[in-house]
Amino acid sequence: MRTIKRFGVSLEEELFNELDAIVKKHKFPNRSQAIRFLIRKNTAEEAYEENKEVSGAVVIIYDHHRRELVNKSLDIQHEFTNIILASQHVHLSHHSCLEIIALKGKASNLKALADKLIALKGVKHGKLVVTSA
């Protein structure tokens, strides 16, 4: 069971209003949850910037009729088997597929894999999403 620590926070009115805007935007039940969210977000961003171990996913949408795209994608993925946890392939339409690749490893390795996949000819859109490991 986790121990909860309580503390007081003093903020300038402008920052206080920004915190309330975050609570409203994300529909947090209270300010404490918003502060937890912001701390975790900052921790994940710092881990990524400092090339620490992180978790994440590469999401790509591509035209599966593009010659050799699937084979090139698989060849790239085989270069990174040490960071790939799982992948999922979804047929969006006759021409478009969505691929989600779950990852865990050094931030630079996740970025290298994502950059190679997103740069493939035939990839319509791609994004790397990263969080703490």
What is the predicted pLDDT for the residue at 2? 84
What is the predicted pLDDT for the residue at 1? 78
What is the predicted pLDDT for the residue at 91? 96
Query: Is the pLDDT confidence value at 61 over 90?
Result: yes
**Could you tell me if 20 and 28 are in contact, meaning their C-beta atoms sit under 8 angstroms apart?**
no
Between CA 8 and CA 12 the distance in angstroms is 14
Helix (H) or strand (E) holding 47: helix 31-49
What is the predicted pLDDT for the residue at 64? 87
37 occurs within a structural domain: yes
Mean pLDDT over 118-122 rounds to 96
Longest alpha-carbon distance in the chain: 60
Question: Same domain for 33 and 61?
Answer: no
Angle at 11 between CA 10 and CA 14, to 5 degrees: 165
Query: Is the pLDDT confidence value at 116 over 90?
Result: yes
75 occurs within a structural domain: yes
Question: Same domain for 23 and 65?
Answer: no
What is the predicted pLDDT for the residue at 123? 97
pTM here is: 0.86
Paired strand residues for 60: 99, 126
Question: Same domain for 80 and 92?
Answer: yes
